[in-house]
Amino acid sequence: MVVRFNPSCLTLSHNPHHTTYFSKQVTVRSSYGKHMKSGGLGRRPQIVSSVLGNSNTEGVSVFVVSDLHTDYAENLKWVECLSNVKHKNDVLLVAGDVAETCSMFVVTMSLLKERFEHVFYVPGNHDLWCRREGQNYVDSLEKLNKLLDACERIGVETNPTVIDEIGIIPLFSWYHESFDKEKDITGFRIPSLEMACKDFYACKWPEGLSNGDMSLALYFDAMNDKQIDVIKEIQMACDHIITFSHFVPRQELCPEKRMLFYPKLPKIIGSDSLEDRIRSIHGAEGRKDASSCHVFGHTHFCWDAVVDGIRYVQAPLAYPRERKRRMNGGENWLPFCLYADNKFADRLNPCYWSDYYSANPRTPHNTKLAPWVARFYKQTETVDV
């Protein structure tokens, strides 16, 4: 996720004060169409050992990561340094934003497939940027098809599959502005979406599809309809199901606008149809025994929370500059082991923002910018409070 503004990354805000395939493999292939300091925290805390995985676990282990952004040399080096032995029998879910160019995408996914037995992928917005691809692609949909073809050649899965009795369902998605239902911040000169979000010029879409309405979100969600029969089989066959997407399915999975360096961020992060799709799979109240989980990416916030019966997890590598100011880093504990020993792992810890909201109510009616945000914006003549 990139927005054009100073500070360099608007998706980050300050940390709050806070406390075997089964006998018939279920898989279908298809073409999808032509700066606040926390008291007492002076150094990075360690990630609890239960999330690190264990080579002696029974059954398959599922690891998750998003937002690799290997166009950055430091991030590509992180991928290269992943063990060639440790994860030979494991599954990795990559929740989008691998690389901006197709060549680097192929390099990255090939490296991951060498390290993990099974690699799954869903596309992110950066993956579909065309700005550095010259005339290689007519539009971002053509690039998407090239990426999916590359995945098939490499052996990366992009379709729903059952592995060792756990259902894994990639979900295609995009965002729409009306996803944002909370009160806007007014009284400050905040850049428009077109000025702040590179997607508006780095992606190219055919006539009828646009970032300015719901058309893209609906188009990408409709791709998932091709897999309905397979998903139904997985629902019947599996006690544990993991869905994953790049984009955000619920606004509660992002900090309130007043906390964000770019208060308009919620307008370019998620989709209502994505959450509807997730609920159609896991159930309106989730599945029994905490067996429902959805993994997402895009905003670069570590997140682990249960909302209405479904566990939502984000474990992003993000940009090097973000890791330097993020208390829990990422290099030493990612990818996150979400599932091992035939059960879901303990929650990702620490996750500053989801930890914060586990102890503090959400107050979207409060539109007074946090001090670390307000200092970046000039007020207009009147300010709504």
DSSP letter for each residue of 219-248:
HHHHHGGGGHHHHHHHHHH-SEEEEE-SSB
Q: Taking Cα atoms as reference points, which of 185, 175, 177, 193 lies closest to residue 364?
A: 185
Q: Please list, residue by residue across 288-299, b when 16 or more beta carbons sit within 10 angstroms of its beta carbon and e when fewer do.
A: eeebbbbbbbbb
Place of tokens 């091992």: 340
Q: Pick from 316, 322, 323, 321: which is nearest to 300 by CA?
A: 316
What pLDDT score does 380 carry?
Answer: 83
- Is residue 257 a contact partner of residue 265, using CB atoms and an 8 Å limit? yes
pLDDT (0 to 100) of residue 99: 98
Residue 156 structure tokens: 């990366």
Note whether 348 and 302 are within 8 A (CB).
Answer: yes
Contact 256, 363 (CB under 8 A): yes
Residue 200 CB contacts under 8 Å (≥ 6 apart), including other chains: 193, 194, 211
User: CA-CA distances (angstroms) from residue 340 to 150, 210, 264, 288, 346?
Assistant: 29, 41, 38, 18, 10
pTM: 0.86
How many C-beta neighbours within 10 Å does residue 358 have?
14
Residues 6+ apart with CB under 8 A from 223: 32, 33, 172
Q: Is 265 helix (H, G, I), strand (E, B) or coil?
A: helix
CA–CA separation, 264 and 241 (whole Å): 33
CB-CB contact of 303 with 249 (8 Å): no
Per-residue pLDDT of the chain (385 residues; tens, 9 = 90+): 656 444 333 444 444 433 332 323 333 333 333 333 333 223 333 333 333 444 456 789 999 999 999 999 999 999 999 999 999 999 999 999 999 999 999 999 999 999 999 999 999 999 999 998 878 899 999 999 999 999 999 999 999 999 999 999 999 999 999 999 999 999 999 999 999 999 999 999 999 999 889 999 999 999 999 999 999 999 999 999 999 999 999 999 999 999 999 999 999 999 999 999 999 999 998 876 667 999 999 999 999 999 999 999 999 999 999 888 765 577 888 999 999 999 999 988 878 899 999 999 999 999 999 999 999 999 885 545 4
Dist. CA 144–CA 48, nearest whole Å = 37
User: 319-361, pLDDT tens digit by residue?
Assistant: 999 888 765 577 888 999 999 999 999 988 878 899 999 999 9
CA distance 164 to 360: 38
Residue keyed to tokens 């007519």 = 138
Domain range 49-374, CATH class: alpha beta
pLDDT in the model for residue 59: 83
Ranges of H-type helices in the chain: 73-80, 102-115, 140-154, 193-196, 199-202, 215-223, 228-237, 272-282, 320-325, 352-359, 371-374
State the first-to-last Cα distance of the chain, in angstroms, to the nearest integer: 29
Rounded to whole angstroms, what are the CA distances from 86 to 81, 82, 113, 114, 117? 12, 9, 13, 11, 11
Taking the C-alpha atoms of residue 162 and residue 76, their distance in angstroms, rounded to an integer, is 29
Q: Which of 201, 321, 306 shows the shortest CA–CA distance to 261? A: 321
User: What number of residues does the chain have?
Assistant: 385
Break the chain into its structural domains and give their ranges: 49-374
Pairing of strands 240-244, 166-170: parallel
Residue 328 is predicted with a pLDDT of 58
